[in-house]
Protein backbone atom coordinates (compact mmCIF):
# COMPACT_ATOMS: atom_id res chain seq x y z
CA UNK A 1 0.00 0.00 0.00
CA UNK A 2 1.43 3.37 -1.03
CA UNK A 3 2.12 5.82 1.77
CA UNK A 4 0.37 9.17 2.02
CA UNK A 5 2.67 12.16 1.47
CA UNK A 6 2.66 13.02 5.17
CA UNK A 7 3.65 9.46 6.03
CA UNK A 8 6.78 9.64 3.86
CA UNK A 9 9.98 10.07 5.82
CA UNK A 10 11.81 13.15 4.50
CA UNK A 11 15.41 14.12 5.27
CA UNK A 12 16.70 17.62 4.54
CA UNK A 13 20.44 17.05 4.06
CA UNK A 14 22.47 20.20 4.79
CA UNK A 15 21.12 22.80 7.18
CA UNK A 16 22.33 26.13 5.91
CA UNK A 17 19.98 28.95 5.02
CA UNK A 18 17.88 27.06 2.47
CA UNK A 19 17.84 23.76 4.35
CA UNK A 20 16.85 25.51 7.59
CA UNK A 21 14.01 27.57 6.10
CA UNK A 22 12.57 24.68 4.07
CA UNK A 23 13.12 22.15 6.86
CA UNK A 24 11.72 24.39 9.57
CA UNK A 25 8.57 25.44 7.73
CA UNK A 26 7.96 21.90 6.47
CA UNK A 27 8.32 20.53 10.01
CA UNK A 28 5.44 22.78 11.09
CA UNK A 29 3.15 20.86 8.71
CA UNK A 30 4.71 17.38 8.65
CA UNK A 31 5.86 15.19 11.56
CA UNK A 32 8.10 13.03 9.37
CA UNK A 33 10.75 15.62 8.52
CA UNK A 34 14.33 15.23 9.77
CA UNK A 35 17.12 17.80 9.46
CA UNK A 36 20.56 16.32 8.90
CA UNK A 37 23.09 18.67 10.47
CA UNK A 38 26.47 18.24 12.11
CA UNK A 39 28.83 19.88 14.59
CA UNK A 40 27.85 23.07 16.37
CA UNK A 41 24.84 23.51 14.09
CA UNK A 42 23.39 20.13 15.11
CA UNK A 43 24.07 20.84 18.77
CA UNK A 44 22.29 24.22 18.61
CA UNK A 45 19.33 22.83 16.67
CA UNK A 46 18.87 20.02 19.18
CA UNK A 47 19.12 22.34 22.18
CA UNK A 48 17.28 25.44 20.99
CA UNK A 49 15.34 24.47 17.87
CA UNK A 50 15.71 26.27 14.55
CA UNK A 51 15.48 30.04 14.98
CA UNK A 52 14.39 31.82 11.80
CA UNK A 53 14.76 35.61 11.70
CA UNK A 54 12.82 37.49 9.04
CA UNK A 55 14.67 40.73 8.30
CA UNK A 56 11.76 42.18 6.30
CA UNK A 57 9.09 41.82 9.00
CA UNK A 58 11.69 42.14 11.78
CA UNK A 59 10.31 39.03 13.47
CA UNK A 60 11.64 35.64 14.51
CA UNK A 61 10.19 32.21 15.15
CA UNK A 62 11.61 29.18 16.92
CA UNK A 63 10.71 25.80 15.46
CA UNK A 64 11.32 22.53 17.30
CA UNK A 65 12.91 20.22 14.72
CA UNK A 66 13.98 16.58 14.56
CA UNK A 67 17.74 16.47 14.06
CA UNK A 68 19.94 13.61 12.90
CA UNK A 69 23.69 13.65 12.29
CA UNK A 70 23.85 10.51 10.15
CA UNK A 71 21.48 8.77 7.73
CA UNK A 72 21.91 5.52 9.68
CA UNK A 73 20.08 7.01 12.67
CA UNK A 74 16.64 6.41 11.14
CA UNK A 75 15.15 3.68 8.95
CA UNK A 76 12.90 3.74 5.88
CA UNK A 77 13.90 7.12 4.44
CA UNK A 78 11.68 7.89 1.44
CA UNK A 79 12.92 11.30 0.26
CA UNK A 80 16.27 13.06 0.65
CA UNK A 81 16.35 16.76 -0.21
CA UNK A 82 19.97 17.81 -0.77
CA UNK A 83 20.47 21.44 0.24
CA UNK A 84 24.28 21.64 0.33
CA UNK A 85 26.24 23.80 -2.14
CA UNK A 86 27.55 22.45 -5.45
CA UNK A 87 31.05 21.82 -4.10
CA UNK A 88 29.65 19.33 -1.54
CA UNK A 89 27.13 17.51 -3.75
CA UNK A 90 29.44 14.64 -4.78
CA UNK A 91 30.40 13.87 -1.18
CA UNK A 92 26.76 13.93 -0.07
CA UNK A 93 25.62 11.81 -3.03
CA UNK A 94 28.21 9.15 -2.12
CA UNK A 95 27.05 9.17 1.50
CA UNK A 96 23.40 8.71 0.51
CA UNK A 97 24.25 6.02 -2.04
CA UNK A 98 26.41 4.02 0.37
CA UNK A 99 23.77 4.06 3.13
CA UNK A 100 20.46 4.07 1.26
CA UNK A 101 21.35 2.76 -2.19
CA UNK A 102 19.02 3.86 -4.97
CA UNK A 103 15.92 3.55 -2.80
CA UNK A 104 14.95 7.14 -1.92
CA UNK A 105 13.71 9.92 -4.14
CA UNK A 106 16.58 12.43 -4.30
CA UNK A 107 15.89 16.14 -4.77
CA UNK A 108 18.71 18.53 -5.73
CA UNK A 109 18.28 22.13 -4.54
CA UNK A 110 21.40 23.75 -6.00
CA UNK A 111 22.03 26.75 -8.23
CA UNK A 112 23.46 25.94 -11.65
CA UNK A 113 23.84 22.57 -13.31
CA UNK A 114 26.53 20.68 -11.42
CA UNK A 115 23.94 18.48 -9.70
CA UNK A 116 22.67 17.34 -13.12
CA UNK A 117 26.13 15.92 -13.80
CA UNK A 118 26.66 14.30 -10.39
CA UNK A 119 23.36 12.89 -9.11
CA UNK A 120 22.58 10.56 -12.09
CA UNK A 121 25.84 8.69 -11.34
CA UNK A 122 24.27 7.49 -8.08
CA UNK A 123 20.47 7.61 -8.37
CA UNK A 124 17.56 7.08 -10.78
CA UNK A 125 14.67 8.74 -8.91
CA UNK A 126 15.94 12.33 -9.16
CA UNK A 127 14.17 15.68 -9.25
CA UNK A 128 15.87 19.08 -9.49
CA UNK A 129 14.70 22.44 -8.21
CA UNK A 130 15.08 26.05 -9.22
CA UNK A 131 15.19 27.85 -5.88
CA UNK A 132 13.85 31.37 -5.44
CA UNK A 133 14.20 31.60 -1.69
CA UNK A 134 16.42 33.63 0.61
CA UNK A 135 18.20 32.08 3.55
CA UNK A 136 21.54 32.38 5.31
CA UNK A 137 23.27 31.33 8.52
CA UNK A 138 23.68 34.00 11.21
CA UNK A 139 25.25 31.55 13.65
CA UNK A 140 24.73 27.85 14.47
CA UNK A 141 21.00 27.21 14.80
CA UNK A 142 20.06 30.79 13.88
CA UNK A 143 19.14 31.65 10.30
CA UNK A 144 18.11 34.76 8.38
CA UNK A 145 15.49 35.03 5.64
CA UNK A 146 13.42 37.58 3.74
CA UNK A 147 10.38 35.28 3.93
CA UNK A 148 8.93 32.50 1.82
CA UNK A 149 9.89 32.27 -1.82
CA UNK A 150 9.08 29.36 -4.12
CA UNK A 151 10.53 26.24 -5.76
CA UNK A 152 10.14 25.04 -9.36
CA UNK A 153 10.74 21.32 -9.86
CA UNK A 154 11.55 19.30 -12.95
CA UNK A 155 14.20 17.34 -14.82
CA UNK A 156 16.29 18.14 -17.91
CA UNK A 157 14.47 15.68 -20.19
CA UNK A 158 11.14 15.59 -18.35
CA UNK A 159 11.85 12.18 -16.87
CA UNK A 160 10.00 11.16 -13.70
CA UNK A 161 7.10 13.66 -14.02
CA UNK A 162 5.04 11.68 -11.51
CA UNK A 163 7.91 11.85 -9.00
CA UNK A 164 8.25 15.61 -9.52
CA UNK A 165 4.51 16.04 -8.84
CA UNK A 166 4.77 13.88 -5.74
CA UNK A 167 7.72 15.87 -4.38
CA UNK A 168 5.92 19.16 -5.12
CA UNK A 169 2.99 18.02 -2.97
CA UNK A 170 5.37 17.04 -0.16
CA UNK A 171 7.31 20.33 -0.17
CA UNK A 172 4.50 22.83 -0.81
CA UNK A 173 3.37 23.00 2.84
CA UNK A 174 6.88 24.29 3.63
CA UNK A 175 7.63 26.48 0.60
CA UNK A 176 5.19 26.89 -2.34
CA UNK A 177 6.32 24.44 -5.03
CA UNK A 178 5.29 23.85 -8.64
CA UNK A 179 6.52 21.59 -11.45
CA UNK A 180 7.45 22.51 -15.01
CA UNK A 181 8.18 20.76 -18.28
CA UNK A 182 10.53 23.61 -19.23
CA UNK A 183 13.01 22.95 -16.47
CA UNK A 184 16.18 23.84 -18.39
CA UNK A 185 14.64 27.15 -19.44
CA UNK A 186 13.78 27.82 -15.79
CA UNK A 187 17.26 26.82 -14.59
CA UNK A 188 19.01 29.02 -17.16
CA UNK A 189 16.69 31.94 -16.36
CA UNK A 190 17.69 31.59 -12.70
CA UNK A 191 21.38 31.28 -13.66
CA UNK A 192 21.23 34.78 -15.15
CA UNK A 193 20.26 36.36 -11.83
CA UNK A 194 22.79 34.15 -10.00
CA UNK A 195 25.59 35.69 -12.10
CA UNK A 196 25.35 38.69 -9.79
CA UNK A 197 26.50 36.50 -6.87
CA UNK A 198 30.11 36.85 -8.00
CA UNK A 199 29.66 40.59 -8.62
CA UNK A 200 28.42 41.25 -5.09
CA UNK A 201 31.03 38.96 -3.56
CA UNK A 202 33.96 40.48 -5.43
CA UNK A 203 32.86 44.10 -4.97
CA UNK A 204 32.83 45.68 -1.52
CA UNK A 205 29.53 46.86 -0.03
CA UNK A 206 31.31 50.05 1.06
CA UNK A 207 30.17 52.42 -1.69
CA UNK A 208 31.42 55.93 -1.04
CA UNK A 209 28.93 57.93 -3.13
CA UNK A 210 26.31 57.85 -5.88
CA UNK A 211 29.01 57.59 -8.55
CA UNK A 212 30.14 54.32 -6.95
CA UNK A 213 26.56 53.06 -6.86
CA UNK A 214 26.12 53.99 -10.54
CA UNK A 215 29.28 52.08 -11.48
CA UNK A 216 28.01 49.02 -9.59
CA UNK A 217 24.62 49.33 -11.27
CA UNK A 218 26.28 49.41 -14.70
CA UNK A 219 28.33 46.33 -13.89
CA UNK A 220 25.27 44.48 -12.54
CA UNK A 221 23.19 45.35 -15.63
CA UNK A 222 25.86 44.32 -18.12
CA UNK A 223 26.59 41.06 -16.28
CA UNK A 224 22.86 40.27 -16.44
CA UNK A 225 22.36 41.26 -20.09
CA UNK A 226 25.44 39.32 -21.20
CA UNK A 227 23.86 36.32 -19.49
CA UNK A 228 20.63 36.80 -21.42
CA UNK A 229 22.57 37.02 -24.71
CA UNK A 230 24.41 33.75 -24.07
CA UNK A 231 21.39 31.84 -22.79
CA UNK A 232 19.35 32.93 -25.83
CA UNK A 233 22.16 31.89 -28.19
CA UNK A 234 22.21 28.46 -26.54
CA UNK A 235 18.54 28.05 -27.45
CA UNK A 236 16.93 28.51 -24.05
CA UNK A 237 13.82 30.62 -23.59
CA UNK A 238 12.90 32.97 -20.78
CA UNK A 239 10.99 31.28 -17.97
CA UNK A 240 9.14 33.77 -15.80
CA UNK A 241 10.10 33.17 -12.18
CA UNK A 242 7.91 35.06 -9.73
CA UNK A 243 9.76 37.82 -7.92
CA UNK A 244 12.60 38.06 -10.45
CA UNK A 245 12.86 40.78 -13.14
CA UNK A 246 11.98 39.87 -16.73
CA UNK A 247 14.53 40.10 -19.53
CA UNK A 248 12.53 42.91 -21.18
CA UNK A 249 12.43 44.97 -17.98
CA UNK A 250 16.19 44.62 -17.58
CA UNK A 251 16.79 45.49 -21.25
CA UNK A 252 14.75 48.68 -20.84
CA UNK A 253 16.53 49.44 -17.58
CA UNK A 254 19.90 49.91 -19.26
CA UNK A 255 18.65 53.20 -20.74
CA UNK A 256 17.59 54.76 -17.43
CA UNK A 257 18.93 58.18 -16.52
CA UNK A 258 21.63 58.15 -13.87
CA UNK A 259 19.50 59.56 -11.02
CA UNK A 260 16.61 57.15 -11.71
CA UNK A 261 18.95 54.17 -12.02
CA UNK A 262 20.64 55.00 -8.71
CA UNK A 263 17.34 55.47 -6.87
CA UNK A 264 15.88 52.22 -8.24
CA UNK A 265 19.06 50.27 -7.49
CA UNK A 266 19.33 51.58 -3.94
CA UNK A 267 15.97 50.08 -2.94
CA UNK A 268 17.14 46.50 -2.64
CA UNK A 269 20.89 46.99 -2.76
CA UNK A 270 21.46 46.18 0.92
CA UNK A 271 20.15 42.63 0.39
CA UNK A 272 22.59 41.88 -2.44
CA UNK A 273 25.44 40.92 -0.09
CA UNK A 274 23.26 38.20 1.49
CA UNK A 275 23.71 35.99 -1.60
CA UNK A 276 25.05 32.48 -1.07
CA UNK A 277 28.51 33.15 -2.53
CA UNK A 278 29.05 36.21 -0.36
CA UNK A 279 27.92 34.18 2.64
CA UNK A 280 30.61 31.59 1.91
CA UNK A 281 33.45 33.97 1.12
CA UNK A 282 32.81 37.02 3.31
CA UNK A 283 30.71 35.93 6.27
CA UNK A 284 31.76 32.31 6.77
CA UNK A 285 35.30 32.83 5.38
CA UNK A 286 35.21 29.41 3.70
CA UNK A 287 37.42 30.13 0.67
CA UNK A 288 35.02 27.88 -1.24
CA UNK A 289 32.48 29.19 -3.68
CA UNK A 290 30.16 28.34 -6.56
CA UNK A 291 32.03 30.68 -8.93
CA UNK A 292 32.93 27.87 -11.33
CA UNK A 293 29.45 26.36 -11.44
CA UNK A 294 27.75 29.72 -12.09
CA UNK A 295 29.88 32.35 -13.88
CA UNK A 296 32.32 29.66 -15.02
CA UNK A 297 29.46 27.73 -16.62
CA UNK A 298 28.30 30.86 -18.50
CA UNK A 299 31.81 31.53 -19.79
CA UNK A 300 32.11 27.98 -21.14
CA UNK A 301 28.72 28.37 -22.82
CA UNK A 302 29.71 31.76 -24.28
CA UNK A 303 33.01 30.36 -25.58
CA UNK A 304 31.17 27.50 -27.31
CA UNK A 305 29.20 30.12 -29.30
CA UNK A 306 32.12 32.59 -29.68
CA UNK A 307 30.25 35.28 -27.76
CA UNK A 308 32.20 38.05 -26.05
CA UNK A 309 31.13 38.68 -22.45
CA UNK A 310 33.73 41.13 -21.11
CA UNK A 311 31.90 42.04 -17.89
CA UNK A 312 31.39 38.46 -16.76
CA UNK A 313 34.90 37.49 -17.84
CA UNK A 314 36.56 40.24 -15.79
CA UNK A 315 34.38 39.40 -12.77
CA UNK A 316 35.27 35.72 -13.17
CA UNK A 317 39.02 36.23 -13.60
CA UNK A 318 39.34 38.70 -10.72
CA UNK A 319 37.17 36.51 -8.48
CA UNK A 320 39.34 33.50 -9.29
CA UNK A 321 42.41 35.44 -8.15
CA UNK A 322 40.89 37.19 -5.15
CA UNK A 323 38.96 34.23 -3.72
CA UNK A 324 42.24 32.38 -3.14
CA UNK A 325 43.52 35.07 -0.80
CA UNK A 326 43.35 34.58 2.96
CA UNK A 327 41.80 36.46 4.53
CA UNK A 328 39.55 37.30 1.62
CA UNK A 329 38.70 40.98 1.16
CA UNK A 330 36.27 42.37 -1.46
CA UNK A 331 37.60 45.05 -3.81
CA UNK A 332 36.35 48.64 -4.28
CA UNK A 333 33.95 49.03 -7.19
CA UNK A 334 36.36 51.54 -8.76
CA UNK A 335 39.02 48.82 -9.11
CA UNK A 336 36.62 46.50 -10.95
CA UNK A 337 35.32 49.35 -13.11
CA UNK A 338 38.86 50.22 -14.16
CA UNK A 339 39.66 46.58 -15.06
CA UNK A 340 36.47 46.22 -17.09
CA UNK A 341 37.16 49.41 -19.05
CA UNK A 342 40.73 48.31 -19.67
CA UNK A 343 39.37 45.03 -21.03
CA UNK A 344 36.79 46.81 -23.21
CA UNK A 345 39.40 49.21 -24.63
CA UNK A 346 41.81 46.37 -25.40
CA UNK A 347 39.01 44.41 -27.04
pLDDT tens sequence across 18-42: 999 999 999 999 999 999 999 999 9
Q: Residue 162: how many CB atoms within 10 A of its CB?
A: 8
Q: Is 270 exposed, middle or buried (0-12, 13-18, 19+ CB in 10 A)?
A: exposed
pLDDT exceeds cutoff 70 at 63: yes
Q: What percent of the chain has pLDDT over 70?
A: 99
CA-angle at 305, arms to 302 and 309, nearest 5°: 35
Across the range 299-327, mean pLDDT stands at 96
pLDDT in tens, 170-229: 999 999 999 999 999 999 999 999 999 999 999 999 998 999 999 999 999 999 999 999
pLDDT exceeds cutoff 80 at 1: no
pLDDT exceeds cutoff 90 at 344: no
Distances (CA, A) of 120 to 78, 102, 159, 245: 18, 10, 12, 32
Burial letters 289-324, b for 16+ CB under 10 A, else e: bbbbbbbbbbbebbeeeebebbbbbbbbebbbeebe
What pLDDT was estimated at residue 4? 76
Across the range 66-85, mean pLDDT stands at 98
Q: Identify the band that residue 89 occupies on the pLDDT scale cut at 50, 70 and 90.
A: very high
Write a three-state SS string for the chain. Answer: CCCCHHHCCEEEECCCHHHHHHHHHHHCCCCCEEEECCHHHHHHHHHHCEEEEECCCCEEEEECCEEECCHHHCCCCCEEEECCCHHHHHHHHHHHHHHHCCCCEEEECCCCCHHHHHHHHCCCCEEEEEEECCCEEEECCEEEECCCCEEEEECCCCCCHHHHHHHHHHHCCCCCEEECCCHHHHHHHHHHHHCHHHHHHHECCCCCCHHHHHHHHHHHHHHHHHHHHHHHHCCCCCCCCCCCCCHHHHHHHCCCCHHHHHHHHHHHHCCHHHCHHHHHHHHCCCCCCCHHHHHHHHHHHHHHCCCCCHHHHHHHHHHHHHCCCCCCCCECHHHHHHHHHHHHHHC
Whether 284 contacts 273, CB under 8 Å: no
pLDDT exceeds cutoff 60 at 292: yes
Residues 79, 155: Cα–Cα separation, whole Å:
16
Whether 297 contacts 191, CB under 8 Å: yes
pLDDT exceeds cutoff 90 at 311: yes
Domains of the chain: 5-181 (3.40.50.720), 188-346 (1.10.1040.10)
Across the range 2-7, mean pLDDT stands at 75
What pLDDT was estimated at residue 286? 78
What pLDDT was estimated at residue 239? 98
What pLDDT was estimated at residue 59? 96
pLDDT in tens, 249-265: 999 999 899 999 999 99
Mean pLDDT score across all residues of the chain: 95
What pLDDT was estimated at residue 273? 87
Query: Among 125, 108, 129, 130, which Cα is nearest to 117's?
Result: 108
Q: Identify the band that residue 270 occupies on the pLDDT scale cut at 50, 70 and 90.
A: confident
Helix 297-304 / helix 310-322 crossing angle, nearest 10 deg:
140
What pLDDT was estimated at residue 280? 82
Please tell me which residue, 147 or 282, carries the higher pLDDT value: 147
CB neighbours of 191 closer than 8 A, spacing ≥ 6? 111, 112, 113, 227, 231, 294, 297, 298
What pLDDT was estimated at residue 2? 67
What pLDDT was estimated at residue 347? 61
What pLDDT was estimated at residue 287? 74
Amino acid sequence: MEKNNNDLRVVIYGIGGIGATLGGWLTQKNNNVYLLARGENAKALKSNGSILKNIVSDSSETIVVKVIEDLNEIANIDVVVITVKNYDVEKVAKDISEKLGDNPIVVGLQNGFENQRILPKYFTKIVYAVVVQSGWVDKPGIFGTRGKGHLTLGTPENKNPEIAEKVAKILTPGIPTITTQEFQDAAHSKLIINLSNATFTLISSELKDDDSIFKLWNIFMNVYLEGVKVVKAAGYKEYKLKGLPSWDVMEMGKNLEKATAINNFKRNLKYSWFNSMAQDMIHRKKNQSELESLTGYLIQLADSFNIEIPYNRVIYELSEQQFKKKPYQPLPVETIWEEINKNLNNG
